[in-house]
Amino acid sequence: MHTNLPTPPRRAATSPTSKTATTTTARVATSWHERDEWSKKRGLHATVHFVGGDHYTGEWFNNLRHGRGTHVGKNHAFVYEGQWEADKRCGYGTLSVPVTNKDKKQDNKNKASETVKQAIKGPPTHTFTAAGAKGTPVVLSKVYAGDWHADVRSGVGTAYYADGARYEGQWKDNVRCGWGTMFYADGSRYDGEWRADMRHGQGILLLANMDRYEGIFVNDMKEGPGKFFFKHRRQVYEGEWSADMPKCGVIHDLETRAFHIGASGLVTSTITKSKLPVLELADPAAVLAQRRQEIQEERVQRLLNPGAGADAAAPNTPGV
């Protein structure tokens, strides 16, 4: 929209000599460049509509979206509200999409679930009305709120998923990368390192039944040394993991402490342990050491030759 442009200054008439003709040509060229500069959008503008059906309301600089503004996709396919730099999303901003009937059914399903102790709610919603728009406001579901750079998610932000899952943490080039926390729809939770949108590095996975894994992840799977705590069995497995499965380790009993209050008011405690069968091996330590070495050698070969079955990327689920 190019309205209310400044009127260029009027030029005095000159006789058509060769000298004045050259001068007139130069003045025309200068006037064209001036008009082109004046036509460029700068500062705060009203809504600008694009050919594809999108529209933008906000700040401009040199004909580019720059500063704070809101970009709305055709038929409200998406809404971005936040910072811009050189026509790209850059800085803090939120991306939202319209709430669909499928989203409403999923939210109702989550609330009615009996397997999750605390009902998982869907992404946060809010009502949006485009600037100067007439008609029914649109209910939007938030997809992402956080930092952007060069039009992609990069920095620190929160992503919301349709099933009620949520990720809070670091991003790089539009994928989860760095340190972050993932809250899964089934009530599980992961705190730890990410790379290329997968759990990768040191992390803690707390399952919905309160069992817990502490250790290393590689390409979204448990890999290497790690501990798995069985809450209700009061036991812990400590050893090697390969492709998300325990391979070589030892199971320990966890202490169970009971407290008793006597007649005098004194508190006493007793510790009990469950009995595990004794390993009847001549040298169990040597057996474990040998098996551990075999697993580590197999891991090196598998990671050096990716693409075969177990090392493929796992789905975005907490695992067991």
Residue 314 — φ and ψ, nearest 5°? -80, 155
The secondary structure of residue 75, as a DSSP letter, is G
CA 181/CA 156 separation, integer angstroms:
12
Position 257 pLDDT exceeds 90: no
The secondary structure of residue 107, as a DSSP letter, is H
Residue 266, pLDDT score:
63
Residue 17, pLDDT score:
45
* Span 131-146, pLDDT tens digits: 555 557 889 999 999 9
Position 221 pLDDT exceeds 90: yes
Q: Which residue has the higher pLDDT, 126 or 50?
A: 50
Position 54 pLDDT exceeds 90: yes
54: left (phi over 0), alpha (psi -120 to 50) or beta: beta
Are 169 and 156 in contact by the 8 Å Cβ rule? The answer is yes
Q: What is the pTM of this model?
A: 0.69
Q: In sequence order, what DSSP letters do the residues of 187-230 get, joined into one string? A: S-EEEEEEETTEEEEEEEEE-TTS-EEEEEEETTEEEEEEEEEE
* Span 7-50, pLDDT tens digits: 233 333 334 444 444 554 555 555 666 665 655 677 777 788 99
Residue 135, pLDDT score:
58
* Span 61-114, pLDDT tens digits: 988 999 999 999 998 899 999 999 999 999 999 999 999 766 555 555 555 444
4-12: long-range pairs with CB below 8 Å, 24+? 5/35, 5/38, 5/39, 6/38, 8/34, 8/35
